[in-house]
Chain A
Amino acid sequence: MSKNLYGTPTDSTDAQERALVDASCRIPVLLFIASSVFWLLVGTVFGLIASIKLHNPHFLIELPRWFALYLDKFSPDGTVDFINAMLTFGRVRPAHLNIVAYGWASASALGVAIWLMARLCRAPLRFPALVTAAMVLWNIAIAIGTIAILGGKSTSIEWLEFPSYVSIMLFVSYALISIWGVNMFVHRKPGHVYVSQWYIMAALFWFPWLYGTANLLLIFAPIQGSSQAIVNWWYGHNALGLWFTPIGLAAAYYFIPKVIGRPVHSYYLSAFGFWALALFYSWNGGHHLIGGPLPAWLITSSIVASLMMFVPVLVTAINHHMTMKGNFHMLHYSPTLRFVVFGAMSYTLASLQGSSMAFRSWNSLTHFTHYTIGHSHLGLYAFFTMIMFGSIYYIVPRLTRREWPSITLIKIHFWGSAYGIILMVLVLSVGGVVQGWMMNNPQIPQNTFENILKITNPYLFARSLSGALLMVAHIAFALNLTLILLGWGKKTGGPTLFNQLEASEEAKPKESTL
């Protein structure tokens, strides 16, 4: 007999209930997941192009000459230049960021959050058509926004490059899902509220407030100069801290106990971690502007809040570690567990690194360098994206009632992603520190701008290699997902496992509580 998240034994009525809940959210959740993986592929291509351009500035700056001449024959004047402009680094890079942040990360987060909420509220999804409509609107907005950025209509405000009409569409779509989330919560089956539900409810509530305020004060009715900068980074940091992080943690808090089949180590630690995160994370944005044209009190309060983040991060890390203790061998079998635990460990690392980057001395060295880019990938990829991968590996078989068609593809996905992101963070961190040290010590004659570019070049080349690894991983993932959605894969009786179980029944992952 299996146990639920609170350690209470479950029976076959529960299994039927879960099947009903899964059936109700099947279409919107699968659509969110499928569309997010599509954008993941597109975003990876843009990321790779941008990365190559940084060490090879002549890469893809223009259409090939023969093609340009051919195109010129039947297209209006200026078409070739318009397309060439779309390929420039300064457009490809924001396209990459916005596609992966909104097209991939946010959409997969919404898909996973809807499924988790339905499961945890133990109530079938109400009005699934509404959620599907929101999903369609979301994806149309991402497509229009991407074309707008490439076409030169970017707002040039980092993390908010989509033009105003796109942000309205995203806001409406998100608000629909937020309202739906509250509705779901109100109609939940009576009983305990799990920590994942707090995280999801909070994120669904905070993000529209964040996104609305930032768009209002930066795009619709822009405020003056440097007060924009602080709103910009209040938003930019909280998009990670109060949107992606809560969803990532909600998934980790759900899947780790679920897969290993024992309750989360401490309820009190999880509650404490949640409220500490809510209180401190929201203040962190100012540490992106240390040394910038802003009042000292503001920067200092952000630095203090960044250091206070040690509290919720360590609490969460301890809680997850104690839950996993004695069950680490299950990483050998369960794809979900392997991705989610990788993500949860990266969360601790990324957060501790982020706090350390708020120290003034370390910040003055690493700010304006590739080190920061390494850090953001550690947060958004190694932590958040890996947890989303793990969640998708769990959710999709339950919605399609099929097993993943290929274990090999899952293995390629995991090792490609894991090695890719580790390599990326390493080379960007080392390269960034070298870059920052040389930049800040111009009194040493060797530290010319020329030498900075020459010395960072190999690091950036290695970053492109890591990007290629991620690309391979994502193709494997997308292929597996396409196959399962097309109806390949065995009709399921149990979970897809990496390795045949030789161990006793005790050690078997409890994913099969369908």
Chain B
Amino acid sequence: MNSLRTLFIGFTITFTLAWLGLVIIPYFQLGQLAPQVDEDAGMSYPLIRSGLAERGKQVYQANGCIYCHSQQVRPMDADPIKGRGWGPRRTVARDYIYDKPHLLGTMRTGPDLTNIGKRQPSADWHHAHLYAPQSMAEYSVMPPYRYLYTVQKIKSTPNPKAVKLAKGYQPEEGYEVIPTPDAIALVAYLQSMDRTYALPEAPLPKE
């Protein structure tokens, strides 16, 4: 065991086995999945994100949302469907074919976001929540993302884009909170997150 060659043959064999098993074979098994096309409805699943939502995904990445929010629903015994309401079915490989990079996440300090677009479809809700999370849920530990918004003086008429905030969270009299393009893109991404469609390998449970 003392020669360089013997050692390196050993290092290579042990490492290659796992490399093949965990990198190469999964790539061939999962790396070329195609979307599921429903010809009758003229739909293709998973849904393709708009350009704005794709831009929003970059904002999501830049601000590290992944460190508190997962994007995967596990099989039923681990993630009970009734109660927490994270999704009607587990997520499968095909759900993620458009995600580069993947954002499965490893932490649920906050709720899972797999289907947040379905749960909270309103852009107003998301803007108010991002600007002042505690205005929506007083116990929330989500940090306010005020830097994604601009506070400005109201000109002659209030800006229609202004964020609708609850009492106690509004800016000073005569000022309004306007989302930056980043905030608008991020909300578009959050609204786009909907994996409640059925796939052959992951059908929706019967009611």
Complex-state Cα separation, A21 to B141, whole angstroms: 54
Interface string of B71-105 (1 = CB under 8 A from A): 01011011110111000001111011111111111
**Is the C-beta of A202 less than 8 angstroms from some C-beta in chain B?**
yes
Complex-state Cα separation, A95 to B74, whole angstroms: 29
Q: Which residues of chain A from 257 to 302 have a CB within 8 Å of any chain B CB?
A: 271, 275, 278-279, 282-283, 285-286, 288-295, 298, 301-302
Closest to A153 in B: B62
Pair B15/A155 contact, Cβ less than 8 Å: no
Q: Which residues of chain B from 125 to 176 have a CB within 8 Å of any chain A CB?
A: 133-134, 137, 139-147
Pair B29/A295 contact, Cβ less than 8 Å: yes
Pair B101/A224 contact, Cβ less than 8 Å: no
Pair B61/A154 contact, Cβ less than 8 Å: yes
Number of A-B pairs whose CB atoms are under 8 Å? 232
> Which of A88, A91, A223 has a CB less than 8 Å from the CB of B27?
A223
Contacts of A282 in B (CB 8 A): 14-15, 17-19, 22
Interface size on B, residues (CB 8 A): 75
Contacts of A442 in B (CB 8 A): 80, 82-84
Complex-state Cα separation, A85 to B144, whole angstroms: 11
The stretch from B3-11, B36-44, B116-124 touching chain A is B3-11
Closest to A151 in B: B62
Pair A283/B21 contact, Cβ less than 8 Å: yes
**Is the C-beta of B48 less than 8 angstroms from some C-beta in chain A?**
no
> Which of A89, A201, A226, A275 has a CB less than 8 Å from the CB of B67?
A89
Nearest CB on B from A189, distance (A)? 12
**Is the C-beta of A387 less than 8 angstroms from some C-beta in chain B?**
no
**Is the C-beta of B178 less than 8 angstroms from some C-beta in chain A?**
no
The stretch from A341-349, A365-373, A416-424 touching chain B is A365-373
Complex-state Cα separation, A231 to B75, whole angstroms: 22
Contacts of B107 in A (CB 8 A): 368-369, 372-373
Which of A157, A288, A292 has the largest count of B CB atoms less than 10 A from its CB?
A292
Contacts of B60 in A (CB 8 A): 156
**Is the C-beta of A18 less than 8 angstroms from some C-beta in chain B?**
no
Contacts of A84 in B (CB 8 A): 146-147
Interface size on A, residues (CB 8 A): 88
Complex-state Cα separation, A267 to B130, whole angstroms: 59
Nearest CB on B from A2, distance (A)? 25
> Which of A90, A206, A231, A291 has a CB less than 8 Å from the CB of B15?
A206
Nearest CB on A from B65, distance (A)? 6
Pair A186/B10 contact, Cβ less than 8 Å: no
Known contacts: A225-B97, A225-B102, A229-B102. The answer to whether A291 contacts B14 by CB under 8 A is: no
Complex-state Cα separation, A51 to B124, whole angstroms: 30
Contacts of A130 in B (CB 8 A): none
Known contacts: A283-B21, A449-B111. The answer to whether A61 contacts B14 by CB under 8 A is: no
Pair B64/A88 contact, Cβ less than 8 Å: yes
Contacts of A153 in B (CB 8 A): 62
Known contacts: A201-B7, A226-B102, A302-B22. The answer to whether A61 contacts B144 by CB under 8 A is: yes
Pair A228/B23 contact, Cβ less than 8 Å: no
Pair B104/A292 contact, Cβ less than 8 Å: yes
Contacts of B104 in A (CB 8 A): 226, 229, 289, 292-293
Pair A88/B143 contact, Cβ less than 8 Å: yes
Pair A213/B23 contact, Cβ less than 8 Å: yes
Pair A293/B95 contact, Cβ less than 8 Å: yes
> Which of A94, A232, A283, A443 has a CB less than 8 Å from the CB of B18?
A283
Pair B61/A156 contact, Cβ less than 8 Å: yes
**Is the C-beta of B31 less than 8 angstroms from some C-beta in chain A?**
yes
Complex-state Cα separation, A288 to B142, whole angstroms: 25
Name 13 A/B residue pairs within 8 A (Cβ), A-sorted: A57-B143, A88-B64, A205-B8, A234-B22, A282-B15, A289-B104, A291-B72, A291-B75, A292-B74, A298-B25, A369-B108, A440-B78, A450-B139
Chain B residues in the interface with A (C-beta under 8 A) = 1-2, 4, 7-8, 10-11, 14-15, 17-19, 21-23, 25-27, 29-33, 60-68, 70, 72, 74-75, 77-80, 82-84, 90-93, 95-109, 111, 133-134, 137, 139-147
- Beyond A222-B100, A228-B101: 10 further Cβ-contacts under 8 Å? A88-B64, A94-B67, A157-B102, A185-B4, A217-B23, A222-B101, A227-B27, A278-B10, A282-B17, A301-B21
